Structure formats: structure tokens, C-alpha cells
Structure 1
Amino acid sequence: MAGLHKIIVGLDFGTTYSALAWASTNLPGQINLIGNWPSAGILTHHSAPTEIAYHEGGTTDFSWGYDIPRTVRRLKWFKLLLESNDEHVQSGMPLPPGMTAMDVTRDFFSALYQHAMSTLWKQNGEAVMSMTRVDFVLTVPAVWSDTAKQRTREAAIAAGMLNEHNLSLLSEPEAAAIYTIKNQDRNAINVHDKIVVCDAGGGTVDLISYTVLSINPLKVTECAVGTGDFCGSTYIDRNFEKLLQQRLGSHYNTLRVETQQRIVKNFEEVKCAFRDKPDQSLYHVNVPTVDTIQEAGIYSGEFQLTREEMRGLFDPVIDQIMILISSQIQSISREGSNVNSVLLVGGFGESPYLFQRLEAWCRQWGISAISPHGAATAVVKGAVLRGLEPSLPLQVSTVVRRARRHYGTPMSTLFIPGQHGERDAYTDPITGRKMARNQVSWFLAKGEPITDDRRITKNFCRSFRKYSGPWVDSMVACDLDSPPSRVTQDVKHVCNISADLSTVRKSCYEKKWKNWRRFYVARYNLDLTISSGDMKFELIFRGASFGVSLAPFLFSVALR
């Protein structure tokens, strides 16, 4: 379908809500949010709850988003389980027996995928869709580990997003920055500005700082090591649940599960509207099926919260965010630069109280606080813009990132006395040479600037007498500032690449002799190609590709 026009679908997979948007290369300036969610009724929402409920204790049939009946126990916040193996986190989000977080995510993705595709066919018609390629850009938290990103990618593939489609990953704050800078009002961000992008979502908060080198075309470069933490708005919900249980005491356990869920859902409306106004001393959360429990502060079916209690729910979470922002700004200041503005995006980024706290803090330091229009959709719209760019070369954004880790591949090399230890020494049975195993050839250094589609090539060779099956090479990573020259416990496996050269004729290899016995030498390249959220590891022999492995790529974001 090369040459035919494309549709790019952006998917912002959030902890509490997820969003879809699309645009066509025919009308790249028109980004369409996908709504019409099942069972949402006449209400128009730019996102759907990241929730799923399996029917009758099974693991195949399920409801999702707004389509889940109120009386059914629902799974939520399962996105966090892709990152965390912590038993406490897992116990708070019990999965159906025999299912993993990847399984649940796959099912939720499949629902989003089917909804997106049916919407595109309905809105564009069969004539257009039959000649249109649809590609997906999936956003992921920058704080996530390689493992979490890989789990997300695999769940998306299992859901169908690689079936006749291209699938790419993009970090959430980068997507938000691309959209906001390209669509800013009143030139709030200018060339040479240094900006901190704070993407505050339901589960994670990501911060990445950029120096703006050009607006049109957009060119930015990271100017500090990013940071992030698990301190999104779901932690305010958890604080509310704790307060609710504390105030209700023994009454809490008499409430049905669906009632407990509904109370937390009702709190969301109060949470999203909270502005900490001095003239409002009480806030009310509807409590279904309960009339009055005076000792719990429930009167006529409403749970009362004081202004101080509301701040008590928010402040521990916002304090964590302010520490992250302060640390980010300090790291830039140590380089002799000043931050011009803090850009607040994401679903939690639309919280009036969070912006109120941020604005007051920024004012002390002469920094501008910006909450762009549609902050909650900046990520999904930025994903669409990023996906469109290869088809619109004059609008391509250049984002110079910094690698968070060292990346390389284990290898054997000629033994050099004084450089290699005897524990790694062995004699190659084919060449007879003394070799050192468990050495690492590092492709990419931690902190090294990286641009999209940069290809790094390393040369390797293998000696063999008879080809005997696929060759396997590994990609490894290291978080240390100075990586070891050999494999140690600090060198972590990322992925394997399996290359099948069974179709290559022997005449294509170098022919050599040892002790009157013939052997062959294959000289090949391992190429590392990097984009925003992906890393392609590829074996190239005589100009042809014989094996490819895609793995998530983690940029300069350190989890506190």
C-alpha cells in the first residue's frame, strides 16, 4: 500500500483514562478525538475509563470503559502492574486467576483497537478505508523501565496493532511537548527558552526538560536528565479511600463492593473541580444507598469533607510533584542556565489546585507556569502529530534526547594479557587462538545525545566449519555511569536477535584453513537504530538483513 494515504491513530494509554485520536495525511491539520464510547450515552468524552470487568469470573468475555455495569467489580489501575512487581501493588489490584497484567492490557487494547477501527470505517467509508493504511502511535510513561515498555508493546501487538499496521512507541512528555509547542498561544514559548515539561497523569508523573532551538520546524534538545515518579492522581483517590474507611469504621465493610466503587467514582468529580477557594469550607461526595451516619460525617447521602481535609488528600501527592519540578530546575541551574517556563500537561495537569500550587511556586522564582488549553489531550494529539511527520517532511520535529543507559552486546575477542582476566580465557577450537569471552562491545553511552533514526553499526565476525542453526546475539544494558568492559551483575539482558543464514551460499563467506582443515569466517554488522520509544537491533550480512529484534528504548528519565 506504499504511496497510498495514511491515517495515524494516537493511543494515550492512561492509568485512569485512555484516549484515542486520529488524523489523515490528506488533512494533517485536523486531529479528531475519538469519542462515541460504548454505553457513554449522549455524553461526549475525550477519554474512556481504563477499566475492564470479566464476565462471571471468566477470562474471555468482558466489558470495558463506560460499558461496565455499576454492580460489577471492575479492574482498574492495572497499567501500573506492567511496571511494578511489588507484591503490595499487586495485592491492591487482584487479577483474575491465571491472568497477568499483560493479558488484561491485551484485552483492553483489543477493545480500544476495535473501537478505533470501527470508528474510522464509519467516519471515512469503505471506499477510503480500503485504500488507506492505518498506523498506531502508542504513548508510554518516560519513567517506565525497558521491561514495562516491552510488555506494553507485546500487549498491543497481541491486540492487533501490528496486523497490517505499523506500531511505534512515544514517550508521553515528548508527545505533549510536540503538540503544545506547535500549537501554543501568544508565543508563550520562544527560541532559546528552557522549558520543563511536567506530564501529570493518573499513575505517573514524568518530567523532561528541553532547550528550544527552533519553533518552525520544531527542534528541541534535552537539557537535563529527566525524572519521574509514581505520584499521579490515583494516589489522591487512594488517600480518599483511606479517609473514607477511617471515617466509616465498621460501617465500611457493610457497603457492597459496587457502592464502594461508586463513592470513589463520585469523588472524582469533586477532585477534578477542587480549587481550594477560601469561601468554600465544605465539599460533598454522594454516597449511594446510605442516608445519614453522623459519626462518619455522612448527612442525607452526602459524605462531607472540609477544605482542610481536601488539601490533606492532595498535598502529599502534589508535594512529591513539586519536589520533582524543583529538582529538575536545580539540575538545569547547575549548568548555568535558567528555566523560562514549566509546562503542565496530562489529565492531572488540568487540576485547578495543582496548577494553583505550581503557579504560586513558580512565581517565587520568576518562572512562567503554563497549562495549555486541552492539557489532558496534549499527549494523544502529540502522538498523532509525531506519526504524521514522516509523510510531511517539511514539518518533521527534531528531538535530541539523551540515553539513560549504556547499550551493547556481549562478545568474545582476542585475548590481550593485562587487559583480560584468565577467568574469561579460552582457546577457540576452530582457529586455535586464545580468546576472552564475556566481553561487552558498547554501542551507546549513557547520557549520549540521540536523534531519531540514528543508526549505530558495530562489526563482528564468527568462525565455523558447518552452519548449524540460527546465530543468536544479545543486547544488554547498564545503568552505571562507567560500564564494565565485561559482563557483570550490573549488565542486564534486554533482548535477543536470532539470525537465520541457512540460505546463504558458502561462497559468500571467507574461506580459511587451520591444521589442514577448512573453516569459514562470516563478517557481519550488528546495527542499532533508535527512535523515540523503540530500539531496532538488526544483523546485517553483505548488505542484507537476516534478523531483527524490536525492544523499547529508555531515554534519560530516572525513577526516583
Structure 2
Amino acid sequence: MPWSQPILRRLEALSLQSSHKIIVGVDYGTTFTGASYVTSKGRELSDIVLISSWPGPSKDTETVFKAPSRIAYSADNPRINKDCWGYQVEPGMIAYSWTKLLLDQGTPLTQYDDPALENASETGILKLPEGKDAVQVVTDYLTQVYRHILKTISKNITEEALRITPIEFWFTVPAIWSDKAQNATKIAAHRAGFAGSFLRRRDKIFLISEPEAAAITALKKYTTGIMGGSVKTGDGVLICDCGGGTVCGSTAIDRNFYRLMSKRFGAAFDKLPVKRKSAGSEFMKRFEIIKRDFGNSDGQSTFELPLNMTVQNADDRYFDEEERLVIISSDDLRVLFDPVIAQIIRLVKQQLQDARGQNGKEMINRIVLVGGFGDSEYLRKAFRSSFGSTGKIAITVPDNPQAAIVQGAALRGLEGLRSATKRCRRHYGFDWGIHFRQGIDSEDSAFYDAYTGSKMASGVMNWIIKKGDRYADNHAMSIPVAWEHHPSWSLRKTILFHASDQTVAPERQNNKDVYSVGNIVVDFSNVDLSRFNPRFVYGTPVYHLKFELKVIFGAQEGVLKFEAISQGRTIGQTSIDFTKDQYY
């Protein structure tokens, strides 16, 4: 029997008076997506509920902790009358996968990025449907995820209770992602309904980096339990996130596999319809099983994968034409795995070296592997061989490493667990004019300040926080800014915000290693200009609009925040318009 409106209003009032809420962790991954939830009354890791039922007939079992990050549109598939997602996408459907990677494809490559990522799009994996960009496709997929999360929670606490209880959604994002990509994630989540509904105005979205979420789970497990030995004060723990789309992830092996198939079969493979070889196809589902089990095989030397393909003069070592089976060997798998694992090992060695350099001694005594690829026995053996043979570093994998990140996201919201400080991943700042330095600054950059009459040089970077600097959550940096203003000019001022990933910060904005993050808008429309003591130049007043620009790093909302303070008061939380590129 439905509850009466008066009862619902009393319940809502009670909810408003209390701190009761639901915390939901969402791990939207390149290959799979997971979710967890817990009420604010929860206290332990065991109180966090992993969503273990996802819709669709293509899953192998009823209990699955993640759903494939793919979507198929009815417009592309005449056989279906509505869009399908996750396990609803069946072999033969035209679907879109790995879309998450397109959210950050404009970010400059690092030394650890896989150049084959761009080439993977030629196989039809990193494709977008006509008329949609990456944010729109991610929005469509997350809309389905949002509905399923609410439906699942409502089964446990009733729809009425869910309606009046605020929800915090903690989305995980890669640590190396640009500010633009993090903002794009929030935009897609809002559009999908997360904290974007008029009926759920008290819901909020926060972001947390994937390795930080994984670290929260791992440290919670190893400080409160005995499995794998306990972590003590002073221990150094390195979290290696081997999620699908990370530099340590298994999609790198997938890309190597596609490259091998293209090299071995040429046009016969390259020109196959995407639906036969993309994520979710029978071909790739079989490869996923082989990949996951590799390292456990007892002497198995060859593996078979079904693929409806016609190969002229097929080599029977690689293709069974009668049965339509691709044949790969253990040696083939080692060729696919070893370059990826070698890169992971190099990256971890660099991290160990950096930790040693910062502290003057060996700091790391435990490496924790999380993420889907962290469950690979072949990877674990390589880690034990490279790092665990001396007995000084323990190599551990938490139970269900795929769930570590989404559990950590919920724990972050539940307990407020967080790192005390973080290191900035890049330089941030803006360019401004400084007093001209004779013999240093180019005359091409020279100009005269109409207010002071001084000769100035433009385009010099003011880096307000530098790469490697430590900061805590909500760390704020304030910079005094003076802006020349004439009466005919707009009172809405735009500051170009820049970044650089180089170790040494470039001095000038026009350096090739400096790129734009976006535009900060500061609005002086409601500020008393007369208080800025104008000077008259040829009978026209010229103002120096002085203000403090505050940039807030590590805000739990997950994106850069700005405030402008003038005449002793905040004249507004300034907005940032993130730079657009072809992938948006």
C-alpha cells in the first residue's frame, strides 16, 4: 500500500535533519564498469555492497561484479528496438567500446604511453557513431548504469526511502588524466542523471583518482586483517593499478593481439566487420579467457579462438579453415604479454628509485597489484621474479582485485580516508606582463602599460604551483593580479590558464611544451570601479583592477576551482571553460 503524502513529508523532514546518506562508488573503466554502495551507518569494508548483478544474456554467470563498458545503438542495429549496453550487447551487434579513452585523447603523450593506442582505432575499437562525440556516448552508457544502480539500491531500502535519502557519487578517474578529461567525466555523469536530476537536488558528485581508491581499499584490508600480513606505520606501499585501460592494463595486450592478427592474416582480418572482432565478440571473449588464465596452464601449448574469416592459402599453424578457428601458441602469448609487462616493470622500478631518492633509503616493502590485470598469474610471476626474490618486498594481490577501486571509492566517501598530501603532476599557471628586462626579453614582446607608463614584457609564465610540489586537499594558492581597464572594455575578463608536463617549467607561454587548460572568467560588473583610483590618459580614465586570484587544488569535487577576491570580498567563484579539441 503506497505511503501517504504526509508520512512521506515527515520522513523527508527527518532525513533533512539527519546526516543519513548513501555513498556510491562508480568505477567507469575502459573495458568494464563496476559500482558499490554503503549507507552512512556503515563502518567496515564488509558493509560495502558490491553490485553483483548486471542485466543482459551474454554474461557467463549470474554473479558478475562488473559490466562491459560498451553500448550498441538501435540506429546501427536493425534487429534491436532499443539501445543495449553491457551484457545486453551480444555478438554480431555493432557496438562502441573503449570510449573512455577518447575523453582524454588530447592530452600530450608521456614516455609511458602506448603509441599503438592511436593505431587501435583502425580496428574499429575506438570508434564513435556518426553524429555523436565521446562525451555523448559516455553519457548514453552512464545513463543506463545510473538507472541500474538506483534500481538495485531501491530493492534493498525501498523506493520511498531512496527518494528522500541524498546520495554521494564517487567516480574514479585515472591519476594521469588532464583537468579537461576529469571535467568531461563530470559533465557526462551529470547529463546521465548522477546528481543532475531536479527530483534529486541534494545528490552530489565527487572524483577520486583510481590508484588512490585502490590504496584506500588495500590499506584498509592490510591494516585491519591478517591476510597477506599487516601493514605497519612506516611501511612503504606501492599500489600498481593494472586496470583495463591503464598503461599497466590488459587492453595493451589486446592491442598487441590485434596487431599480430593483422600481421598474420592481413586484409582477411583487417576488413572483417567490427562486430566479429570487437570487444564482446565471441572471438574476443575467448581471448579474454585465455589471457586471464595464461600462466596457470599446465603445459598447454596452443589455444583456439572462433572467428568466421576467409583466409586465402591459410597456414594451418595459425588458422583451421574448416572449423574457422584462429590458433595461437604459448610463445605467441608471451610475445603479446612480455612487452607490456616489461613496461610495467620499468615503471615500477622507476617508482622504487624515486621513493629511494626522496627518502635516502629503501622505502617500499610491499607492492599491491589491483585491477583486472592484477589477477593475471603471468604478471604475478613476473613481479615475484623482479621484486620479490630477495624477500625485501612482498607482492600481494587482494581478493577480488577488480573490485578494489570501486570499494575504495565508497570508503573514501564513508570514512573520509585520504592521503595527507599529494604531489602535483604538472606545472599550472598563467602568463602575464613583467617589467622589461634589457638583453633578456625580446622587443617583440614589449609593450607600455597605459596606467604606469612602464615598459613591460608580455607572455612570461607565472607558475603558481609546480610539478612535484606537495599539497593537501583544498590547497589554495593566491596570486595578486592587476588588470588594465578602459571604460569601453568589457568588465568580464578572461585569463588563459596553462600547464606543462615538463620537469623544468618553461619560462614563456609560447614554448611548445606549454599548453592551454582553459579560460578563467573574472567578472567585475558589480565592483565599484571608483575605488581603483583611475589615472587619466589623454582625458580618458584608465583603471588598474586589482584582485587576488585563488586557485584551489585537490578539491574533492575533482576539478580545479577558482575564486577572485577584490576589495576585500569574493566577487565570484570564477568559471573555467576547458579548451575544446577534435575529440569533444
| Superposition TM-score tier, normalisation by shorter sequence | 0.7 to 0.9
Question: Following the alignment from structure 1 to structure 2, what is the Cα–Cα distance between the partners of residues 250 and 412?
Answer: 57
Matched, 1:201 2:243: yes
1:63 aligned to which of 84, 87, 92: 84
Q: Does the alignment pair 1:105 with 2:138?
A: yes
Can you give the 5+ residue segments of structure 1 that lack an aligned partner in the other structure?
Answer: 206-230, 391-395, 553-560
Q: Helix, strand or coil: the match of 1:534?
A: coil
1:480 aligned to which of 477, 502, 512? 502
Task: Kindly indicate whether the alpha-carbon contact (under 8 Å) linking 1:168 and 1:534 is maintained by their aligned counterparts in 2.
Answer: no
- Structure 1 residue 66, shift from structure 2 partner: 0.6
Name the structure 1 match of 2:121. 90
Matches within 5 A, 1:262-301: 262-285=282-305, 296=318, 298=320
Matched with 2:398 is 372
* Structure-2 residue corresponding to 1:353: 378
Say if 2:45 is the partner of 1:44. no
Change (3 A) 1:522 1:247: closer
2:350 counterpart of 1:324: no
Contact between 1:476 and 1:493, CA under 8 Å: does it hold in 2?
yes
2:413 to 387, 403, 420: 387
1:83/1:145 contact within 8 Å kept: yes
Alpha-carbon distance, 1:256 to partner: 6.6
Q: Which moved more, 1:31-40 or 1:327-336?
A: 327-336
Residue 49 (structure 2) aligns with: 32
In the alignment, residue 368 of structure 1 is paired with which amino acid?
Answer: A
2:208 to 135, 150, 170: 170
Q: 2:516 aligns with which of 481, 493, 504?
A: 493
| 1:504 and 2:524 aligned | no
How far apart are the structure 2 equivalents of 1:58 and 1:151? 28
CA 1:389 to 1:423, structure 2 compared with 1: closer, same or farther past 3 Å? farther
* Residue 469 (structure 1) shift: 3.5
2:574 counterpart SS class? strand
The offset of 1:20, in angstroms, is 1.0
SS in 1 for 2:405: helix
Encode CA deviations 1:107-130: one digit per residue, 9 max, x unaligned.
212222222233333432244223
Distance verdict in 2 for CA 1:242–1:417, change over 3 Å: closer
Q: Secondary structure at the match of 1:398?
A: coil
Q: Give the distance between the partners of 2:577 and 2:195, measured in 1 at CA.
A: 15
Is the Cα–Cα contact under 8 Å of residues 563 and 570 in structure 2 kept in the other structure?
Answer: no
Q: Given that residues 7 and 24 in structure 1 are in contact (C-alpha distance below 8 angstroms), is that contact kept between their aligned partners in structure 2?
A: yes
What do the CA deviations read for 1:263-308 (whole angstroms, capped 9, x no partner)?
Answer: 1112212222222444444445456899x99554548676554433
Q: Match of 2:564?
A: 539
456-465 or 54-63, larger mean C-alpha shift: 54-63
Query: Deviation of residue 492 (structure 1)?
Result: 1.8
Q: Deviation of residue 369 (structure 1)?
A: 0.5
Deviation at 1:57, TM superposition (A): 2.7
Which residue type is aligned with residue 194 of structure 1? Answer: G
Deviations for 1:464-491, whole angstroms, at most 9, x for unmatched residues? 3547341222321123333344422233
SS in 2 for 1:317: helix
- Where in structure 2 are there 5+ consecutive unaligned residues? 1-15, 107-116, 579-584
Name the CA distance, whole Å, in 1 between partners of 2:170 and 2:576. 15
Residues 269 and 309 of structure 2 are in contact (CA less than 8 Å); yes or no, is this contact kept in structure 1? no
- Structure 1 position 142 matched with structure 2 position 180: no
Is residue 2:72 matched to residue 1:53?
Answer: yes
Residue 177 of structure 1 and its aligned partner are, at CA, apart by 0.6
Instruction: Tell me which residue corresponds to 1:524.
Output: 547
After superposing the two structures, state which structure 1 stretch, 405-414 or 317-326, moved more: 405-414
Contact 1:248–1:296, Cα closer than 8 Å, also in 2: no
* Aligned residue type for 2:39: S
Within 5 A, what are the aligned runs for 1:179-194? 179-184=217-222, 185-186=225-226, 187-194=229-236
Higher strand share: 1
Q: CA deviation at 1:45?
A: 0.9
Q: CA deviation at 1:344?
A: 0.5
Offset at residue 417 of structure 1 (A)? 5.5
Per the TM alignment, residue 17 of structure 1 is displaced from its structure 2 partner at its CA by: 0.7
Distance 2:276 2:213 in 1: 37
Structure 2: how far apart are the matches of 1:380 and 1:549? Answer: 30
Give the 3 Å change call, closer, same or farther, for CA 296–398 of structure 1 in structure 2. Answer: closer
Matched residues, number: 520
> Are 2:99 and 1:78 equivalent residues in the alignment?
yes
- 2:182/2:559 contact within 8 Å kept: no
- Using the TM superposition, give the Cα deviation of residue 150 of structure 1 relative to its aligned residue in structure 2, in angstroms: 3.6
* Cα pair 1:202 1:347 within 8 Å, conserved: yes
Using the TM superposition, name which of 243-252 and 491-500 deviates more: 243-252
Which residues of 2 match residues 206-221 of structure 1 at below 5 A? none
- Residue 399 of structure 1 aligns to a residue whose secondary structure is coil
Letter in 2 for 1:175: A
Aligned CA distance change for structure 1 residues 525 and 2 (closer, same or farther; 3 Å): farther
Deviates more, 1:524-533 or 1:308-317: 308-317
Q: 1: distance between equivalents of 2:335 and 2:139?
A: 36
TM-score (norm 1): 0.82
- Match of 1:473, SS state, is strand
- Contact 1:4–1:131, Cα closer than 8 Å, also in 2: no
What percent identity do the matched residue pairs reach? 33
- Specify the code of the residue in structure 2 equivalent to 1:75: Y
